[in-house]
Amino acid sequence: MVRFYKLSMFVLAVWLLGSAIAQSQGTNQFKASLLKCDKTNSGFCTELRHDQQFDGHYSGHDEPSLIFYSDKAGSGNNSIYNLTLPVDPPVAPLQDGTGGTFNFQLHSTFWFGMALCDTQSSPNFTHVCVPNTDANIFDSGDPNAKDFIGHHPGAAFLELQFYPPGGLNTCSDPTQWCVAMAIFSFNVQDLTGMINNRDCRRKVGLEPSNFAFLTTTGVAQSAADPLNFNFNNKFGIFPGFTFQMSPGDKLVVDLHDTPDGLQVVINDLTAGTTGSMTASTANGFAQINFDPDPAPPQLSRTCSSTPYAFHPMYSTASEHTRVPWAAHTYNIAFSDELGHFELCNAVDQEGGNCVQAGADDPQGVDDDDVFCFSGGFLGLFGLQPIGSCIGGDFDFDGASYQPRWPGTGKNYP
């Protein structure tokens, strides 16, 4: 029961951190000045639930990124990275902001990205997407052009997310790293402004996420389908065969396509172990069906999903190989997810609001001090007993924005 609760909290954190879920938004929002986030705060801004943030304007959350470009065939669907996992400082963090700063305080995750096909995802002009080809490049602004971006094949985006030890977004063993495939889609039809049905918005939001931990067997321990994963029978089985790694381990991370779907294989050279996952129907990956409610509103649809194997969208990687609904021209990418940790000395309830500001907020509690937990509660699960909030840090005053990174002082070697 403890393991299941801890894991369910972790998945909720992933949904909040990877991308906010939109709630019941009207179609007019998608029709006017869609990309002018600071002016119109439209649904095409990256933070769908937080349309007005710092100083009354759009700011979004921080995901500083590296985008990799190459015109070589295969660069858009086959990636290999050599990675050494970060280690935490020797000094444990303290509630008053002194002591060391662990990785989970600086970044909730870091991830490797790749554009994928999803024929039920934005822009929903066509339900055809032939994978692994640059014929999917549609980036003209001319509605009469053959490659008009509004006619782009439906796109999803992989974030291969690595989770640091010690915080809520952690593995069963709070001293270990783990990693998961998180694949995000966007259930909107751009040219008409239509959005998915009310039932889907309630159950999975407009930006549903397939999710599966890498395992030592390559077999998902629960369905990745955002609509039909099974908490009671499968999702609570943890750690089971979940692939876990130690801080400082040297890894080879391999992303490549297979007939069954995109596959990720990680070889831990230090431990001599391997973890993998394939975005296949056998592992329960699925697309949420784009099925808007008809008029009148009482004729509402029921949310549904269809088994779906996710494959890379492009052959190469350039500014033209993009996920058109994403915040940047993302395809082959690396990102560090910042801005999801602020100290909090007391909460109104676990998972609720901060009611006594921590050292990060010397002038008092802020509006972004939400989704907070007490240090005593976290300590019950073997996590670092530091009271904190892990929602979005939209005024940039948490650990990510302080001189607490490695190399910035005696506690951060």
Calculate the average pLDDT of the chain.
84
Segment 102-113, tens digit of pLDDT = 999 999 999 999
Domain boundaries, the chain: 62-341
The reported pLDDT for the residue numbered 295 is 80
Instruction: State the pLDDT confidence band at 15, using cuts at 50, 70 and 90.
Output: very low
**pTM, rounded to two decimals:** 0.86
Q: How many Cα atoms occupy the beta-carbon half-sphere of 334 within 13 Å?
A: 11
CA 152, distance to chain mean position in Å, is 23
Q: Who contacts 140 (Cβ-Cβ below 8 Å, separation ≥6)?
A: 146, 147, 148, 149
Could you give phi then psi for residue 184, rounded to 5 degrees?
-100, 135
Find the mean pLDDT for residues 189-203: 93
- Lowest pLDDT segment from 109-113, 120-124, 291-295: 291-295
Find the mean pLDDT for residues 354-364: 91
Q: Is the pLDDT of residue 345 over 70?
A: yes
The reported pLDDT for the residue numbered 402 is 86
Find the mean pLDDT for residues 306-332: 93
The reported pLDDT for the residue numbered 238 is 53
The reported pLDDT for the residue numbered 36 is 44
- Give burial (CB, 10 Å; 0-12/13-18/19+) of 261: buried
Segment 250-273, tens digit of pLDDT = 999 999 999 999 999 999 999 999
Find the mean pLDDT for residues 269-289: 97
45 and 33 in contact (C-beta within 8 Å)? no
Q: Is the pLDDT of residue 230 over 50?
A: yes
Q: Is the pLDDT of residue 45 over 70?
A: no
Kindly provide the b/e burial profile for residues 199-220, where b requires at least 16 CB atoms within 10 angstroms of the residue's own CB: bbbeebbbbbbbbbbbbeebeb
109 and 161 in contact (C-beta within 8 Å)? yes
The reported pLDDT for the residue numbered 413 is 52
Instruction: State the pLDDT confidence band at 38, using cuts at 50, 70 and 90.
Output: very low
Cα–Cα distances in Å, from 235 out to 169, 256, 288?
16, 26, 19
What are the structure tokens assigned to 349, written together?
């309830």
Closest CA to 182 of 315, 358, 10, 300: 10
**DSSP collapsed to 3 states, the chain:** CHHHHHHHHHHHHHHHHHCCCCCCCCHHHHCCCCCCHHHHCCCCCCCCCCCCCHHHCCCCCCCCEEECCECCCCCCCEEEEEEECCCCCCCCECCCCCECCCHHHHCCEEEEEEEEECCCCCCCCCCCCCCCCHHHCCCECCCCCCCEHHHCCCEEEEEEEEECCCCCCCCCCCCCEEEEEEEECCCEECCCCEECCHHHHHHCCCCCEEEEECECCCCCCCCCCCCCCCHHHHHCCCCCCECEECCCCEEEEEEEEECCEEEEEEEECCCCEEEEEECCCCCCCEEECCCCCCCCCCCCCCCCEEECCCCECCCCECCCCCCCCCCCCCCCEEEEECCCCEEEEEECCCCEEEEEECCCCCCCCCCCCEEEECHHHHHCCCCCCCCEECCCCCCCCCHHHCCCCCCCECCEC
CA quadruple 344, 64, 91, 383: dihedral, nearest 10: 50
